[in-house]
Structure 1
């Protein structure tokens, strides 16, 4: 009987040691791991005395087995938490990619609207009957600017997981596009001044 009990003790110590050595860092930070580690160290250090005390040997084995069960429960919790964290990361990455794709598509639209604001004022000026609509040519750039603000709103204060370089590139492209849009507006206003001077000259 004592031999069987000693074998059980050695088995549970060995199984605890294996679990402790294979435990990930997250589990090693748990109280269950620290308690199991302390128990194993104590049992190894006092093994001869523990084995000699036949009356208390079964209690020691049950304590070690209970500690092993607690460690297994903690390990399962850590694995579940890791799985949840991984799922959250995947969902967040997919959301980040969706935002970046939307921004890239919007940049193409914005570039087209800016180009329209460059092209429309001289077009209106070339046809006197519609020259009074010249300032309408500035609307595409303004409309595009408002659209961009809405698309980039989720970017503000957002912590990006792995796409920070792409985010920086996109934001830099939009900053440059804003500068070009301002240039389109200024050119449109200059065309308006030209149209005004032309009308004034014709009136004289």
Structure 2
């Protein structure tokens, strides 16, 4: 018996056995676990790489669309400016043409004016005959007195009472009429 055998806890311990086969088996288990973790991590790394590649492609498409929109907007602004100047030029041309047309119409009217003195003018055509002065008087003076046509009391004279309306007996003198039942 040795001195270490008398120390409690040390006696119950099994003697260390350093067998190479046990250590190799433990290391192979550990190596298999590490390889499984590496395979799992590599799969995750590939999935993350694919995801980031898709994100980068989407970002590039957005940037390309943004640049394309900027070019299209610049082209549209240039086209709008050109259309505005074309419109302004067309308006100016139209106004110039209208002024020229008015001058030409005046020239044509002066060139084709009838300059024959009245005593030499042929007035046999109905449209060339002279007209008399137009009688301009109020209608009640031009027509004369208004003649009463109806015996119902209706009159064209505004000073007279109005005729009875429908549904009212108009055979009676005004003021004594009663509704028809």
Fold shared, TM-score > 0.5 on shorter chain: no
Which TM-score band (shorter chain)? Answer: 0.3 to 0.5
Which structure has greater helix proportion?
Answer: 1
TM-score computed with the length of structure 1 as normaliser: 0.35
Rg larger for = 2
Q: Which has the higher contact order (CA 8 A, sep 6+)?
A: 1
TM-score computed with the length of structure 2 as normaliser: 0.39
